[in-house]
Chain A
């Protein structure tokens, strides 16, 4: 039972900023969970708001986020707009409703200094904040983290990592393809950078290459050599123009002094010198389904729902979730460092 299941608690009132696919996903998942009311929607497109009002008249709609201050009560807001707006909208939301919990879709910001600013503000205000980095809630990655922390493969020494998809196979337009807001690193690579920070702690870039194949002004592929403060080193690759990968796949291979593991969204495979918990001393795989807890509702992937539950529980308990602004802000230092490498032509 999570905090959300407690019938003695009054419903949490939530609002959604940005009625795109991610805004709709968050609205639907949160609304399906017990003790949550969808109270407000904010979007700059008045036509969308009118349409929403025709279908769901009980929801208050606004074109400006500052207007949420007129509501009797709003406990949490989900910011699902282009990433270059996150910094400003998070600040305006907290000005309009002091203490409101803020969830921001990934990437948290497009510049590390904005991330540091949001982290500082959230620490000062003690408000609950969270960034949508749902890969941490995938059963395979979560179990891999537990094995690493428990010493199942000994001390990690080096890793190989990649996140590939075939999402961009022609020249695109919009903020995802503009410098500063777009590129595969911010769009997909951020998930992998987050997992690497989660697994190994703070990291720095030793070298990086950014290439484009279809996009005019942003990288379609990046690879980098990274090293953690604790000395773990490895390769990082992110590509969104990979014809070899029809569906998105994020893979990590970690080699330690007493074993290795390979993990993606589907499977966790261990190669251990000696048994560790349920993992024997020979190659052994577990499917994500067996590593995923029971969920009350499924939309998207289980990790989307588990992330939603984690955020709403954090709001109820007033405790910071693992991907709070303060915890996520440092990964944008690494992202900035990679982005400083020149964009190479094909």
Chain B
């Protein structure tokens, strides 16, 4: 019961929440942390995390982050750092909010002008989208991934593409399963990466996948896990029970500190009691914090059953 059958190549991931505006900490503490996280500093934090045991990095797809990673020297890692990238590109989300769905879709297509194929798509963006929205989704995934791969340095390897939680949990809710299927097929067959989903509704997600015959052993899931049950819907006990039952699922734990309500030590004590996840993602905003955090995580990793 208490065994995870699945595996991921990475156990410890640096999360980019401190760099990308998703600040999970209390607002006052979050403001204190909102210092100048320019590209050189992000690269320094990444190096510190890697030197202390992180082998993966997870972030939301974003042009600036691609550029930042393009300038990383790879030091001190002797092997490529695995990327777990959350789609869609964050610019699309901000456009959605600022310009509405219609404006966002037009602009999203407009932003993909860097290749001949993209230009062809842009030329008839709406007709393409309306004629076959699933092909359009597949094309978006391929173009975004092409952009990522040509921009980041060779010291990275794209391990997984995950659908962000807004899309995962919305698509599941309205029952648009074909979107999931196209995402899974494109990421697996055409991009050669592990497909993943970010969800704050894990039990519902598992139930949905099973009802639609989506194979759980083929996907990764990034989901909150902490001793307070913060963002674990409907509650911590139900999420834990599902994780124990679904040993084939590749699980990446996030929100380990429950939005700043618990210390890393408390989080680690909770995680060390039961083997619920394959990997952990934790953010850090300074090199010192990255070293301390990942040193502790590495010690936990050694103790895990």
Contact = CB atoms under 8 A, between A and B. Distances in A.
Interface of A: 19-21, 24-25, 27-29, 31-32, 38, 45, 47-48, 50-51, 54-56, 172, 174, 244-247, 249, 264-267, 287, 289, 294-299
A47 B231 CA distance: 35
A239 B259 CA distance: 25
B21 A27 contact: no
B151 to A, nearest CB: 25
B201 A298 contact: yes
A21 B96 contact: yes
Interface string B92-103: 000011111110
Nearest to B200: A298
Interface in B197-243: 200-201, 204, 228-231, 233-235
Interface of B: 21, 23, 26-27, 30-31, 34, 96-102, 126, 129-130, 133, 166, 169-170, 172-176, 178-179, 200-201, 204, 228-231, 233-235, 258-259, 261
Contact of A54 (B133, B201, B259): B133
A55 B179 contact: yes
Nearest to A38: B174
Given A298-B169, A298-B200, A48 B101 contact: yes
Contact of A28 (B34, B133, B174, B200): B174
A172 B98 CA distance: 9
Nearest to B204: A297
Given A28-B170, A246-B31, 9 more contacts: A32-B173, A32-B204, A47-B102, A247-B21, A249-B27, A287-B26, A287-B259, A287-B261, A297-B169
Contact of A55 (B21, B102, B178, B200): B178
A296 B134 CA distance: 30
B30 A247 contact: yes
A51 B133 contact: yes
A212 B262 CA distance: 40
Nearest to A299: B169
Contacts of A45: 101-102
Contact of A246 (B23, B133, B174): B23
Given A32-B204, A47-B130, A297-B173, A289 B102 contact: no
Contact of B23 (A47, A247, A297, A299): A247
Contacts of B204: 32, 297
A226 B100 CA distance: 34
24 contacts: A19-B101, A21-B96, A21-B97, A21-B100, A29-B173, A31-B174, A32-B169, A50-B130, A51-B129, A56-B175, A174-B98, A244-B31, A247-B23, A266-B26, A266-B27, A267-B26, A287-B26, A287-B259, A289-B230, A289-B258, A294-B234, A297-B169, A298-B231, A299-B201
